[in-house]
Homo-oligomer: A and B are copies of this chain.
Amino acid sequence: MSQMQSVEKQLRQMILGLEIGPGEKLTERWIESRFGASRTPVRAALLRLETEGLVGRDGRGWTVSPINLAELEQIAVYREAVEVAALRLSCGLVDRSAVDVIEAMLESCDKDTPREEWHRVGMDFHIELARLSGNDFLFRAVRDAMTRLSRARWLEVRNEAALSRAWAEHRAILAAARVGDADEAARLLSGHIVGSRERLVTSLANDRRGLRARGFAVVPA
């Protein structure tokens, strides 16, 4: 693997894992020494992460993108459009057996599963469902949206009730998709996304003070 890919991957992981806080300043030279690479691959990695929305420019320098509540709301609308479109396509497929693979993914989480795993599977559910459509653009749109939502959702997975509710909704969506009921699946997915957004934004808005105290920049809606 090239240094650029290595730096990109590690830096993304640190940002998504909140090892570098939202809103924190980054310098190319710090990344350079942190990962033992020179500035050329570091700059390349930053340019890519910028297009993912994980880092942004702050004047001349670089900043880890803050958690942006207004952005979270817009992403939810965007997600709804692309995920529903992908799901409708999938419901029209003759072979929808991949639904079972996704269901198995959900079932792999039980009470002993670490939080990180719940978090990852919760995102992968949506990503894999989109991949099933066979449309690369819809798939990438969902994957990128989930990446942007990742940190905000991570701050939320402590909530047991929300998780079990989400899993129930996920199963219901799969059940509708399995029998090819596109309208019902779409309705359930829309509801799930809208509901998730409301709970997420409310929760973060309430926690905002606490998050800022931990050094996490959170810009209001």
Contact = CB atoms under 8 A, between A and B. Distances in A.
Q: Is the interface of A mostly helix, strand, loop or mixed?
A: helix
| Interface size of A as a range | 20 to 34
B44 A137 contact: no
Nearest to A4: B47
A48 B46 CA distance: 11
A109 to B, nearest CB: 29
Count of chain copies: 2
Interface in A69-86: 71, 74-75, 77-78, 80-82, 84-85
Contacts of A85: 77-78, 80-81
Residue with the highest number of chain B CB atoms closer than 10 Å, among A44, A85, A137: A137
Interface of A: 40, 43-44, 47-48, 51, 71, 74-75, 77-78, 80-82, 84-85, 89, 135-138, 141, 145
